[in-house]
């Protein structure tokens, strides 16, 4: 009996040791991430999408399960598959290949704040509040407009890829609650974003931050915008250095004081 208990304890200690070693093996080098990306595109993108935003499989960018899992758990999910789901095991992959996949998947959901972003955040701030006019619609720490999402915590909540897409391809994915809308009622026209609507009412926030609660029965016209209200030409309007600086500024934004000094 004592021998059995000793063996059981030894096995548990070895498992913990191996788990600790395994969790520290996930490489973070650009080369490892690039290798993982190649493997991902060949084996995973059909279900999770080429950019990891999901398809028949869940998003690896926004999924909380990915962010909460440690490296060992991600390794085991890839190597052994996920029970009761369509996720198959990839037991034919070598350990170093699975670790490269872990590194790439981890990079997909990593907040921009944790990344070593090139560029000047100070210069990016000047662009945001100046030349680019971003603050006309977006608010940071209580300063700015109302038509776009609050960006005070953008660096902690969004990945680098999400920041780039939202700035340079704003119509690719419009955040819920920020659909552009134009209505006409009682001889006046109201433009803004539709916060809520149903068969009976519509709630609109205009550029001044004023909330309009209207009955759809009183509307002469209601039209939703098919594209984002955000300008779609920043990719051409800004130079390469300006784009880099703007993303550097957004990627460092956080409401958590302990992270603000990164």
- In this structure, what CATH number is given to the domain that contains residue 155? 1.10.760.10
Decide if 124 contacts 57 (C-beta within 8 A).
no
Q: Where are the alpha helices (DSSP H) in 50-151?
A: 64-68, 71-80, 95-109, 121-129
Global pTM reads 0.71
* pLDDT value, residue 31: 87
**pLDDT higher than threshold 80 for residue 126:** yes
> What CATH number does residue 210 fall under?
2.30.30.100
Question: In degrees, to the nearest 5, what angle opens at C-alpha 67 toward C-alphas 257 and 141?
Answer: 30
**pLDDT higher than threshold 80 for residue 134:** yes
9 and 82 both lie in a single domain: yes
Nearest to 233 by CA among 139, 140, 137, 132: 132
126 and 241 both lie in a single domain: yes
> How far, CA to CA in Å, does 210 sit from each of 165, 190, 204, 218?
28, 11, 8, 19
How many structural domains compose the chain?
3
**pLDDT higher than threshold 60 for residue 1:** no
11 and 95 both lie in a single domain: yes
* pLDDT value, residue 258: 57
Q: Is residue 197 part of a domain?
A: yes
31 and 143 both lie in a single domain: no
Q: Is residue 115 part of a domain?
A: no
| β-bridge mates for residue 139, sequence order | 144
If you ran DSSP here, which 8-state letter would residue 174 be given? P
195 and 137 both lie in a single domain: no
Instruction: Give me the mean pLDDT over the 206-235 stretch.
Output: 94
36 and 77 both lie in a single domain: yes
29 and 105 both lie in a single domain: yes
Decide if 102 contacts 26 (C-beta within 8 A).
yes
Give dist(CA 77, CA 84) in Å, integer.
12
Q: What confidence tier does 193 reach under pLDDT thresholds 50, 70, 90?
A: very high
13 and 44 both lie in a single domain: yes
**pLDDT higher than threshold 60 for residue 66:** yes
203 and 99 both lie in a single domain: no
Give dist(CA 196, CA 99) in Å, integer.
44
The upper half-sphere exposure of residue 98, i.e. CA atoms within 13 Å in the direction of its Cβ, equals 21
Structural domain containing residue 242 = 121-173+230-251
72 and 146 both lie in a single domain: no
Query: Among 12-16, 46-50, 141-145, 210-214, which stretch is predicted with the lowest mean pLDDT?
Result: 12-16
């Amino acid at each position: 009996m004592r021998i059995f208990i000793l063996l059981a304890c030894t096995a548990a200690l070895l498992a913990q040791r191996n788990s600790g070693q395994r969790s520290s093996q996930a490489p973070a080098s650009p080369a490892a991430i690039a290798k993982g990306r190649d493997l991902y595109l060949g084996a995973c993108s059909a279900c999770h999408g080429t950019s990891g935003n999901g398809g028949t499989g869940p998003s690896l960018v926004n999924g909380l399960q990915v962010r909460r899992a440690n490296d060992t758990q991600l390794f085991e999910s890839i190597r052994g598959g996920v029970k009761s789901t369509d996720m198959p095991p990839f037991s034919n992959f070598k350990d170093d290949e699975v670790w490269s996949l872990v590194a790439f998947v981890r990079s997909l959901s990593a907040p921009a704040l944790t990344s070593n972003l090139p560029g000047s955040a100070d210069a990016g701030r000047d662009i945001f509040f100046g030349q680019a006019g971003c603050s006309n619609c977006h608010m940071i720490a209580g300063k700015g407009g109302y038509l776009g999402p609050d960006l005070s915590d953008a660096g902690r909540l969004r990945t680098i890829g999400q920041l780039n897409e939202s700035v340079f391809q704003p119509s690719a994915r419009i955040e819920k609650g920020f659909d552009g809308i134009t209505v006409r009622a009682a001889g006046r026209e109201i433009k803004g974003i539709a916060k809520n609507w149903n068969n009976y009412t519509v709630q609109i926030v205009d550029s001044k931050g004023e909330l309009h609660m209207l009955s759809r029965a009183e509307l002469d016209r209601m039209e939703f915008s098919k594209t984002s209200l955000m300008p779609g030409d920043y990719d051409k309007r800004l130079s390469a250095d300006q784009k880099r600086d703007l993303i550097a500024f957004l990627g460092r934004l956080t409401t958590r004081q302990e992270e603000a000094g990164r």
